[in-house]
Structure 1
Amino acid sequence: MQNERLRAAMAEGGWTHASLAAKVDVDPKSVERWVNLGRTPRRETAMRAAETIGEDVFALWPKLRQARAARAVSPELVALYSQRADLPVSVFIDLFTQARKRIDVLVYAAVFLHEAYPRLNDLLRERAAEGCTVRIAVGDAGSANVQQRGQEEKFGLGVESRCQLAMMHYRSLVGTPGIELRTHATTLYNSIYRADDQMLVNAHVWGVNAYGAPVWHLRRNNDGGMFDGYAGSFDAVWATATPVQGG
């Protein structure tokens, strides 16, 4: 979708893709994507561009309002989504792709990742081969807490079967250097998807399937903050989880 407001402002001021790009220190292709594809630049870049052409930054890129509101709540909160279904799977995949040191996944099943992105295992292998430590904790289908979750969400055996399906997806990773798979039997308060210092937290709501529950995107910026709290909860669950053996 084109950004007609940006296009009009640039035309009125005599700005070309190349001249605006030079002024705000980006590649001209970036400006072309802002105009023709409606892409939203980073906040700092957007502010420089808006100031350069004499426009309100939030009028040009309304999505930045959400980011500003999130930062007003916590400097670690990048964005807040009312439900996981609002996020395209590409958000999760991009997060994992950027990881260089660590990927942590704590879920009951989250089979939506493999269903929407069949190359997930290949991506995890590639990251591990580049030195990234990958830890995946999947729900134990036979545990009381997994079975209770199915009853609470009126999903019956659905949660158990999806845990089993998730294990089928991930099992081929067992034995891959840098990747460890475990099962856990904890009450899952939040699903956690971490990549280095960024994290997507899917908060669970009683009786609501995970896709209908909120997600917050965190970026670590200080010791002892929200990010570290969720990272610590992952480590605590991981310590109680059972390693999956090959075969």
Structure 2
Amino acid sequence: MPNERLRDALLRNGLDLAHVARAAGVDPKTVERWITKNRTPYPKHRYAIASLVRESENYLWPDAAAPQRKAEAAESEVVKVYPHRHSIPAEVWDRLIGQAAERVEVLAHAALFLVERPTFIKDLAEKGRNGARIRLLFGDPASREVARRSDEEGLGKGTLGARIRNALAFYRPLVDVAGVDMRFHKTTLYNSMFRFDDEMIVNTHVYGCQGAHAPALHLRNLSAGDLFETYAESFESVWRLSNPATF
């Protein structure tokens, strides 16, 4: 079976076999076998290619790292654990948002707290125009899943849906901005995710507890790690099930 993840990563970055071969110090035929026959490169080559395409080794070659190494790397991927999302310092959010240059991804219901940062929407628009990929996933305010979560968090019927519609008013200026894509999801949201390049805030959801009061993990992607990639793949799964947001 071909390594479609590697093939896709090379295509997305505009890299051909010769370019990768030079970067890894191998023959182009070797690179071709890595793709078409799913051969696993030596560790030094995996590292070089992962750096070249800005993906983790574990994403490109899920079975390459030993389980023990994955477990050790996962521990190192946890930058900090916060007892509540609201306890994350404002300067942490400012740094994550300000430094993101290639990717911003949000999976939440409303993400209303983000627009409390005065320049957040303008920053996203500028990043999108400069080539960053901005993907924002909001809960569908008319869905049963959102209505149920509103009840479970003790907000009252319809409150969360109204909060999402309120948030969309702030995000409306991003409609039709190059590089920005906004969608609705109807999933049971186990975690909210806020990714900025190779760092991510994962806001866990606790039954009966509003998101702001639930724990949060600050993660940093490591090439051989498995934890960050688990959440990143979950985002992709929800994205595939989502529909364009309506305003």
- SS of 1:118's equivalent in the other structure is coil
Pairing of 1:47-62 with structure 2 (within 5 A): none
Q: For the residues of structure 1 that align with 2:125 and 2:207, how far apart are their CA atoms?
A: 34
Superposed displacement of residue 72, structure 1: 9.7
**1:30-83: CA deviations, max 9, x gaps?**
xxxxxxxxxxxxxxxxxxxxxxxxxxxxxxxxxxxxxxxxx9971100000000
Residue 226 of structure 2 is matched in structure 1 by 225
Which of the pair has more CA radius of gyration?
Answer: 1
Q: For the residues of structure 2 that align with 1:155 and 1:105, how far apart are their CA atoms?
A: 22
- Code of the aligned partner of 1:144: R
**1:120-154: CA deviations, max 9, x gaps?**
11010111122110000011111111000011111
Is the contact made by 1:137 and 1:183 (CA closer than 8 Å) also made in structure 2? yes
Q: For the residues of structure 2 that align with 1:93 and 1:187, how far apart are their CA atoms?
A: 29
Alignment of 1:179 onto 2:175: no
Distance 1:118 1:162, change over 3 A: same
Residue 136 of structure 1 is matched in structure 2 by 136
Residue 149 of structure 1 is matched in structure 2 by 149
Q: TM (normalized to structure 1)?
A: 0.67
Residue 81 of structure 2 is matched in structure 1 by 80
Residue 56 of structure 2 is matched in structure 1 by none
Superposed displacement of residue 223, structure 1: 4.3
% of aligned pairs identical?
A: 39
Q: For the residues of structure 1 that align with 2:74 and 2:106, how far apart are their CA atoms?
A: 25
Residue 20 of structure 1 is matched in structure 2 by none
- Code of the aligned partner of 1:192: M
Is the contact made by 1:129 and 1:178 (CA closer than 8 Å) also made in structure 2? yes
Distance 1:72 1:226, change over 3 A: closer
Superposed displacement of residue 181, structure 1: 0.6
Q: For the residues of structure 1 that align with 2:90 and 2:203, how far apart are their CA atoms?
A: 13
Q: For the residues of structure 2 that align with 1:181 and 1:89, how far apart are their CA atoms?
A: 24
Structure 2 unaligned regions, length at least 5: 1-71
- SS of 2:76's equivalent in the other structure is coil
Q: For the residues of structure 1 that align with 2:220 and 2:146, how far apart are their CA atoms?
A: 29
Q: For the residues of structure 1 that align with 2:73 and 2:89, how far apart are their CA atoms?
A: 25
Superposed displacement of residue 101, structure 1: 1.0
After the TM superposition, which segments of 4 or more aligned residues of structure 1 sit over 3 Å from their partners?
Answer: none
Q: TM (normalized to structure 2)?
A: 0.67
Q: For the residues of structure 1 that align with 2:153 and 2:146, how far apart are their CA atoms?
A: 11
Residue 125 of structure 2 is matched in structure 1 by 125
Residue 97 of structure 1 is matched in structure 2 by 98
Residue 171 of structure 2 is matched in structure 1 by 170
Superposed displacement of residue 171, structure 1: 1.9
- Code of the aligned partner of 2:152: E
- Code of the aligned partner of 2:93: F
Q: For the residues of structure 1 that align with 2:146 and 2:88, how far apart are their CA atoms?
A: 24
- Code of the aligned partner of 1:150: S
Residue 199 of structure 2 is matched in structure 1 by 198
Residue 212 of structure 1 is matched in structure 2 by 213
Structure 1 unaligned regions, length at least 5: 1-70
- Code of the aligned partner of 1:136: L
What is the root-mean-square deviation in Å for CA atoms of aligned residues? Answer: 1.8
Q: For the residues of structure 2 that align with 1:86 and 1:117, how far apart are their CA atoms?
A: 15
Q: For the residues of structure 2 that align with 1:148 and 1:90, how far apart are their CA atoms?
A: 33
Distance 1:161 1:97, change over 3 A: same
Superposed displacement of residue 179, structure 1: 0.5
